[in-house]
Structure 1
């Protein structure tokens, strides 16, 4: 049953926090989460964002938890080819352009990006503080697989449009993608990890493994390691699983060497 949307800052923060804590249980280092101080993060003001963000978004990003990668990781992935945004990294007066390229989508001031893809293929996660919804976008696929909360651009009054440098019409394409009540979005993402439809590696990268058994032998082997280590039960042995995944990926593992010395 679909939850009724409606923006609630504290509920949004709780949903993001719970999701990040779930990911640390599965594969992220326990100390990855940066919890906000009671007064919120010191993040640049509205005028430092280009395009600008409204006060509701600024209030949200000042009170969200963020993820910081360990020294040997360049970034933290929170879904398939989706890197977590850390707004505490913003420094100086800006302007800081943190939205996707306009060719992919325009974003209104009440929408904030929580995750982005580093390449052409992968996912973005957006939070709409006006509707209280979360949207999962793969712009290479287009708006396929829309939900009842997705929007047809032709029916959206006041949607942003712009003419690009080469004369093409730029639009808010994010609205057409699968959209959920915020809590439902993170429940859905969590279930995909639980069911091993998306599988993390020990270096933090996350990929789809959705083929039926026998078709994707490498994926079958990765899933088997997680299940043999107890995933997703409470008895899941995360350190053992990540050690075995590192060996599966052919990575040298100083932690394994230290364990052997003991």
Structure 2
């Protein structure tokens, strides 16, 4: 069942957890005045949706057309902005995008005030709830309805927990594009997501159990295996940097951010070196 106040509070808790990460400044989170925002930039929605948008907290970019990040290739929408967010696919009057994808692997979050749900709409078909043949036969503008749907509060509470437990992490992007942040996950599977989220206490991550597992080496060719190990090591370094700076109770956000930026710049340079070795002709052109 939909409740405006429950929805507002669930989104607020989620955004408050997001800005704890060494990515966005605290000032990015903006709260509505007591009577709600004076105006919101959207058309074609019913009064229930408009009432919700007038009372939501938002993550507001500091610069025009700056793309923030709340999940893999997924950006939040701030309806108090002058920028018009075109709907990827037209939605019914009782539905609204809370977030939209910036690429085909991103996830658009669609809130339905009639049903009190959030739908995870991803073009890769990750969350579809019907056989693929039936899904492909749907009209393009109807496909979002066939994706996984959850009650609003349950969905947002799960995402909040994943950031709280550092299953998911958001850190600054040194180059600032296509989004200002980068997303990392410690989990490779849905089952691992659940296990890590339920852990009572964050503890240092030892890589040996996952990256040296013989099944991975059997299933992947050598180049893929080495790439996988490199990525996992980097995610572990990001995670351990959080812990070293006192997450969660004594977290030094500014120092952690500074160290993570250096870590990302080093990782980018190493990745560029690997690509240059694989394709020396392209490296010569870039120089």
Structure 1 residue aligned with 2:242: 226
CA–CA distance in 2 between the matches of 1:90 and 1:112?
Answer: 17
The alpha-carbon distance between structure 1 residues 11 and 219, as it changes in their structure 2 partners (threshold 3 A), is same
Match of 1:17 in 2: 12
Decide which of 134, 158, 165 is 1:188's aligned counterpart: 158
Give the match's secondary structure for 1:236. coil
Deviation at 1:10, TM superposition (A): 0.9
Partner of 1:138: 122
| 1:247, distance to aligned residue in structure 2 (A) | 0.8
3-state DSSP of counterpart to 1:87: coil
* Counterpart for residue 84 of structure 1: 76
Gaps of 5+ in 1: 1-5, 153-167, 252-262
Aligned to 2:251: 236
Does the 8 Å CA contact 1:43/1:90 hold for their aligned counterparts? no
Question: Which residue does the alignment assign to 2:103?
Answer: 119
Q: How do 1:72-111 and structure 2 match up within 5 A?
A: 74-90=66-82, 98-100=86-88, 102=89, 106-111=90-95
Query: Which position in structure 1 is the counterpart of 2:46?
Result: 54
d(CA) in 1 for partners of 2:18, 2:91 = 27
1:20-59 correspondence runs (5 A): 20-27=15-22, 28-43=24-39, 49=43, 52-59=44-51
Q: TM-score, normalising length from structure 1?
A: 0.72
**For 2:167 and 2:11, how far apart are their aligned partners in 1?**
20
User: 1 or 2, which has the higher helix percentage?
Assistant: 2
- Structure number with the bigger relative contact order (C-alpha 8 A, sep ≥ 6) is 1
The alignment covers a number of residue pairs equal to 214
Give the conservation status (yes or no) of the 8 Å contact 1:134–1:182: yes
- Aligned residues of 1:68 and 1:75 also touching (Cα < 8 A): no
Q: Are the counterparts in 1 of residues 40 and 53 from structure 2 also a CA contact under 8 Å?
A: no
Deviation for aligned residue 1:117:
1.3
